Amino acid sequence: MGIPPPLPGQPLELGDYLIPLPHPPSEDLLHPGRLRIGRSARKMAAEMVDLWTFDVLSLQEASRGHALYLLGLAVFERHNLLKACRIDMRAFERFLLRMEHGYGANPYHNSMHGADVLMTTHLFLSKYGFLERLSSLELLASLLGALMHDFNHPGTTNAHEAKLHSARAIIYSDSSILERHHLASSFELLRLLKAEGHDLLGGLPAADYQTVRSLIIDIVLHTDLSNHFKFVSRLQALCTAKGHSQSSNTADAAGATSAGSSGGAAGSGGGVGGSGGTSEAESSSWVSTLHDPESVDVRLLLGLAIKFADLGHSIKPFHLHKAWTVRVTNEFWALGDRERALGVPISPLCDREAEGSAMALAKSQVGFFSYVCTPFYAAIADLVDPHMEPYAQLLANQNEWAVRVERANKLEPKLEQDGLTTRRRLSSQDGGEDVDEAEDEAVDAAALLRRLSTRYDPSDSERSDNEEFGRLSERSEEVRTQASEWHKGDANGRTAKAKKDVKEEAEGAVTSAPPAPVAVVKPSGGLLSRLAHKLGC
């Protein structure tokens, strides 16, 4: 797996250590005038620029794969950055199209994610007044960093690269491997574009270019999750010193002191009124420390912005958050499949066989929110606005996953008990050995269908879980009822047909659900295991 050293006198090529950039698309695909993007898609992109509820997935479909191109144009136009930073429009359009083409076809880390992070970075900086703190160069670096942060993604993780001692792990010494890979790939793209006569940053003086480059590097390195908890601790320290909650506590204490110093009934009433007025006044005068250059330098602010955006699927409306969750889950499972084929330990959250149920997914999301997302966004809300819309949506999403876990915890034991009760009831009746075996298979089929009702279905992320559960449960009951009826007929004459019928019923119920590349956890033991195998589960 190592790379042979270069021959004496032969220069070491960076490309030897990187996944080469994809070959550029044809000139037709790089000519903006030849793109088949309808007016409705362009209008959709323009209307998204101010909305937290923007939907890149829908725009990607409407624009025939050009969401990053459209949103890149819209955001940079909104901030007038092409003029402010002397960027040629043709060079910028070609840059966006090459970025779009070179992001790769991963389910999650693709050009749509790059566009999504660009939009969320723009919204965070715009809606909370941070544009006033930034120069044109700093804003340019922030938005370019958002576009570049996962460029040319190989669909792996830093842990995977280090585990395999990959070429990238070797050249980057196991330090922020993918983040440095994305940076190298992005700056290599800029070099290639310059060689083709489309120098994106050619209008900047050398010193300004170096400033932008340095900021972009710092911004992208902030997306390495191995440093996440250290970063959150830093934010929490700021909250303790200068957060909104700390300001409110100070105001409340001051109000209580004022109330306690007033004597008599009238004084007490005046104290309460004075306390309310003081607290409201102090609260309204509170200013986020993120606006203070002496407390928070611009690099920390821009690092916070990119992290806010990179975890941004957690703050979307639940149907969008769930769609993105499906994508990242499938990408992790694909990586797990590769690791299984290589014979190396499967990375956490990447084993589709062990983590392919609805319960496992919901539990992993609850953990992801509890330990990664919520502490981070809670600190940002305390430093920016306790009532910020994205934080409220995050809490709603976390609660939704928790409800799903609770529902599954209550449902699973009941389904198991239903299966046992039916088995005992059937086994207490008379019948030949063949009938008993067929009945066992019918009961097992019913139980299997009930278990399938709680699976996670990546092929249709917007299907109502309750509706799906009800449909499969009804089919399960039909199969179980048919098993009960078998004892009324002739055991010798009907056993073979009955066994065939119940299998067809079970297979029909399973195949009527949308196909999903999810491995259902297989119950152990004889007939049920064989039945699960026959049903392809």
* Within a domain: 462: yes
pLDDT of residue 35: 80
CA angle at 194 for the pair 193 and 196, rounded to the nearest 5°: 65
Query: Measuring CA to CA, how many Å separate 63 from each of 41, 59, 70, 90, 99?
Result: 5, 6, 8, 20, 16
> Under 8 Å CB-to-CB from 264, ≥6 apart: which residues?
none
Q: What is the distance between the alpha carbons of residues 356 and 350, in angstroms, rounded to a whole number? A: 10
pTM above 0.75, yes or no: no
* Within a domain: 481: yes
pLDDT of residue 479: 52
pLDDT of residue 467: 54
pLDDT of residue 36: 82
Which of residues 221, 237, 261 is at a domain's end?
A: 221
* Within a domain: 255: no
CATH number at residue 42: 1.10.1300.10
**Amino acid in the structure at residue 308:** F
* Within a domain: 137: yes
Contact 92, 81 (CB under 8 A): no
* Within a domain: 58: yes
pLDDT of residue 287: 87
Which of residues 174, 194, 221 is at a domain's end?
A: 221
Crossing angle of helices 526-534 and 433-452, rounded to 10°: 60
Q: What is the distance between the alpha carbons of residues 460 and 371, in angstroms, rounded to a whole number? A: 28
First to last CA, the chain: 36
110: three-class secondary structure by DSSP: strand
In the chain (537 residues long), the average pLDDT of successive 10-residue segments reads: 46 49 65 80 95 96 95 97 96 95 93 98 97 97 98 95 94 96 95 94 96 98 96 95 78 51 40 35 70 93 98 97 95 95 93 82 92 97 95 96 86 59 52 48 51 45 49 54 50 50 49 38 39 40
> Helix H segments across 343-432?
358-368, 374-384, 389-427
* Within a domain: 299: no
* Within a domain: 417: no
Q: Kindly report each contact of residues 24-30 with a partner whose C-beta sits within 8 Å and lies 24 or more positions away, as own/partner.
A: 24/98, 24/101, 25/97, 25/101, 29/97, 29/101, 30/94, 30/97, 30/98
Domain of residue 491 covers 429-534
Which of residues 200, 221, 242 is at a domain's end?
A: 221
pLDDT of residue 181: 96
pLDDT of residue 230: 96
Q: What is the distance between the alpha carbons of residues 491 and 498, in angstroms, rounded to a whole number? A: 10
pLDDT of residue 53: 95
Length of the chain: 537
